Amino acid sequence: MADRLGIIAGGGELPRRLIERCRAAGREIFVLALAGAAEPATIRDVPHAWCRLGAAATGLAVLRENHVTELVLAGSIRRPSLGMLRPDWRAAKLLARIGYRTLGDDGLLSAVIKELEAEGFRVIGPDQLLDQALVPEGSLGRLRPDAQAEADIERGLQVARALGALDVGQAVVVQQGLVLGVESIEGTDELLRRCASLRRDGPGGVLVKVEKPGQERRADRPTIGPRTVAIAAQTGLRGIAIGANSTIVLDRDEVVRAADRAGLFVVATNRS
């Protein structure tokens, strides 16, 4: 059997888009679906196995049995407590070495990638498989941020960079200079929903989503898609700002159409 690409799949749109892209390219894949994170519909028609997050020995064995040599990590995972993780001997060995409680999400993912590489797998980033996933600086649709929105973007970037430096989250919502919410364990979609009840009168807020300083770019890269635009519109935001050349945009054409229909701007920025 030929070597396969392995997709370690969490939740959200990204694993599904990778599967579709590999199918279109005729690339053979095997999906290791993480229980409690991956969506059953995503992996229904592809070779796959389910694995709980703490069962590292089982996961590694399954990948090898299915001739996987190259790996991509894709999708959201809600980080469990150690009690809920129930690490097997292989996972416990890793966690004891790296200090599970002391690492943020990016630090933990970086350690996991190093461990996978030590096991002989080649780990690549999702953007290496998705055509034109990263976007250059500029507006993606017909709308542009006005002066107030530009000020909110600037404020959001300051907060997001500070947040990212602590390895906490990638996103922040700012309205008229006020920080309505920052991303933590819940993820971007739930951040937007939470901020809906906190919005002030007047021009809506802005979602700012950028990578963390020094982020491991092969995992948990900032990602938006049509669903992000839909939730942003539903929760009263006026726009989205992302990091240029560093944020994955799924279904770019549909993101542009959805944003234009909803009257939202989507802008990629290189400002630090």
Of 64, 97, 128, which residue sits at a domain end?
128
> Residue 237 has what pLDDT?
97
Q: Where are the beta strands (DSSP E) in the chain?
A: 4-9, 29-34, 48-51, 68-74, 122-124, 138-139, 171-175, 178-182, 206-209, 223-224, 239-243, 248-249, 265-269
Whether residue 263 is found in the same domain as residue 241: yes
One domain, residues 91 and 210: no
pLDDT at 99 over 80: no
On whether residue 133 sits in a domain, the answer given is: no
| 100 and 14 within one domain | yes
pLDDT tens-digit map of 150-202: 999 999 999 999 988 888 889 999 999 999 999 987 889 999 999 999 999 99
pTM summary value: 0.87
Q: What integer is the mean pLDDT of 42-60?
A: 94
Q: Do 164 and 56 have their domain in common?
A: no
- The verdict on 73 and 151 lying in the same domain is no
Q: Does residue 71 sit in the same domain as residue 189?
A: no
Considering 128, 161, 189, which residue would you say is the last residue of a domain? 128
The 10s digit of each residue's pLDDT in 18-45 is: 999 999 999 999 999 999 899 999 999 9
Q: How confident is the model at residue 95 (pLDDT cuts 50, 70, 90)?
A: confident
Mean pLDDT of the chain: 90
Containing domain of residue 167, as a range? 138-269
CA distances from 144 to 119, 140, 150, 239 (A): 47, 9, 9, 9
Task: Specify the DSSP element, H or E, that contains 231.
Answer: helix 226-234
Q: Does residue 187 lie in a domain region?
A: yes
- Residue 84 sits in a domain of what CATH number? 3.40.50.20
Q: Over 60: is that where the pLDDT of 13 sits?
A: yes
105/124 same-domain check? yes
pLDDT of res. 100 = 63
Give the total number of structural domains in the chain: 2
Mean pLDDT of 35-57: 93
> Do 87 and 186 have their domain in common?
no
Paired tokens of 98? 């790296």
251 CB neighbour count, 10 Å cutoff = 16
- Provide the pLDDT for residue 271: 77
pLDDT of 102 over the 80 cut:
no
How far apart, in Å, do the first and last CA atoms of the chain sit? Answer: 47
- β-bridge mates for residue 76, sequence order: 11
